[in-house]
Amino acid sequence: MTMHMNTDAIVKLDGVVKQFGTFTAVERVDFEIGRGEFLAIMGSSGCGKTTTLRMLAGLDDPTEGDIWLDGERVNGKATWDRDTPMVWQSLALFPFLTVQENVEFSLKMRGVGKTERIARARNWLDKMQILEFADRNISQLSGGQRQRVALARALVTEPKILLLDEPLSALDAHLKVRMQAVLSSLQKDLGITFVYVTHSMSEAFSMADRVVIMSRGKIEQIGSPQEIYHAPRNRFVAEFLGSSNIFTGRLVEKSGDDWLVETVHGRFAVTASNAPAKSLGDAVTFTVSAENMHISPGGGDTPGIRAKVVGEEFVGATAIVFLETETGEELKVQKSHVELTSVNLHPGSTLNLHWESHSCHVLPGE
């Protein structure tokens, strides 16, 4: 695990474990979140994202380990005594209160007087551009407007940390992108630390300063979106991102960073920059991203791996072509439509795939 030490951490999880009965939902997690950082937590379903967030919110208590918020150990501290409001996918707005009353609610609970409450609530409704709906009932709002009310309600107490659990997943695609922009600029303008759980890679990678990838209660990798995208640590992360081809083999020749790796598909040159130390005979797993694969029509003596086209998926200006090798592995190639029309591409046709040795990334955690 890459441990990012932040001198100005606002959140620190130190050996945090969460068990439900005999089931371990979170296994000894250690990480820090910097003040003002936007941290996204991603991972497969059931990997412990929400549990981690709930422990930060004080809705669940860790079985082991310590949670520190702004220099204070908060284990056992009730959720209402913490400065960590949470925004949910379901929003949990009060349907019987108006927009303004919803936003005023947490101030009222904290004993803030009426005049100040109204002023602060209206200020946040204005910031979220929903002041005109202040007197409406929640049921009279659109999904995006409700989302803004939920944000205003969470932010009105001016917390240092905002916890968000899939806040945009109920919105349609168009609104999602708009709300992403709202959240991003809000977070940067206010300098509030965001901890954001999501299933969506595009949300995490477009908004977060750093992303945590979890699987089965463990952290697989923490890093900036660029680091994770370009240098996944292990097979889990590479597969989770889904944009690379993964090859395994043995190191058969080595001269500095220039490695030769023997796989079932043949021997490949791998430029192993930033790779861990390996000796001849060691197992090596490397990735080549789908967009760095080159294709040429199959047949003849063209170098590379021969594979058969099994499917194609349009992704905007590009397409991902799925292929199967003679040994049954699935490979993928992402190319512009123009490039794809230059080869004879149809289901069942055979292509040759090759790549540059410097396009290879050796997975250090394998």
Ligand X SMILES: Nc1ncnc2c1ncn2[C@@H]1O[C@H](COP(=O)(O)OP(=O)(O)OP(=O)(O)O)[C@@H](O)[C@H]1O
Nearer to ligand X (CB atom), residue 45 or residue 139: 45
Start-to-end CA distance of the chain, whole Å, equals 12
Is position 46 an interface residue for ligand X (rule: CB under 6 A)?
A: yes
Binding mask 84-103 for ligand X (x = CB under 6 A): --------------------
Structure tokens at 350: 């055979």
**Cα within 13 Å of Cα(146), Cβ side:** 20
| Chosen residue from 29, 39, 42, 49 binding ligand X by CB under 6 A | 49
Tally of CB atoms within 10 A around 102 = 26
Is position 51 an interface residue for ligand X (rule: CB under 6 A)?
A: yes
Nearer to ligand X (CB atom), residue 59 or residue 186: 59
Is position 215 an interface residue for ligand X (rule: CB under 6 A)?
A: no
Structure tokens at 224: 């900036």
Q: How far is the CB of 358 from ligand X (least distance, A)?
A: 36
Nearer to ligand X (CB atom), residue 63 or residue 302: 63
Nearer to ligand X (CB atom), residue 60 or residue 101: 60
Q: How far is the CB of 249 from ligand X (least distance, A)?
A: 33
Task: Tell me the β-bridge partners of 304.
Answer: none
Per-residue burial over 130-157, b if 16 or more Cβ lie within 10 Å, else e, is: bbebbeeebeebeebbbbbbbbbbbbbe
Structure tokens at 102: 């919803």
Is position 145 an interface residue for ligand X (rule: CB under 6 A)?
A: no
Q: How far is the CB of 357 from ligand X (least distance, A)?
A: 37
Q: Reduce the DSSP state of residue 135 to 3 states and report it.
A: coil
In 3-state terms the chain splits into helix, strand, coil percentages (rounded to 5) of: 30, 35, 35
Nearer to ligand X (CB atom), residue 49 or residue 117: 49
Q: Reduce the DSSP state of residue 119 to 3 states and report it.
A: helix
Nearer to ligand X (CB atom), residue 25 or residue 260: 25
Task: Please state, in angstroms and as integers, the Cα–Cα distance from residue 103 to each residue in 118, 138, 167, 235, 331, following that order.
Answer: 9, 11, 17, 45, 51
d(CA 247, CA 270): 11
Is position 117 an interface residue for ligand X (rule: CB under 6 A)?
A: no
Task: Tell me the β-bridge partners of 214.
Answer: 43, 219
Binding mask 16-45 for ligand X (x = CB under 6 A): ----x--x-x-----------------x-x
d(CA 161, CA 11): 9
Q: How far is the CB of 150 from ligand X (least distance, A)?
A: 18
| Chosen residue from 50, 184, 325, 359 binding ligand X by CB under 6 A | 50
Q: How far is the CB of 51 from ligand X (least distance, A)?
A: 3
Is position 47 an interface residue for ligand X (rule: CB under 6 A)?
A: yes
Is position 198 an interface residue for ligand X (rule: CB under 6 A)?
A: no
Burial class for 292, CB neighbours closer than 10 Å (0-12, 13-18, 19+):
middle
Nearer to ligand X (CB atom), residue 21 or residue 95: 21
Amino acid identity at 124: W
Nearer to ligand X (CB atom), residue 59 or residue 97: 59
d(CA 356, CA 340): 19
Q: How far is the CB of 21 from ligand X (least distance, A)?
A: 7
Q: How far is the CB of 172 from ligand X (least distance, A)?
A: 20
Can you give the binding site for ligand X, defined by CB under 6 A? 20, 23, 25, 43, 45-51
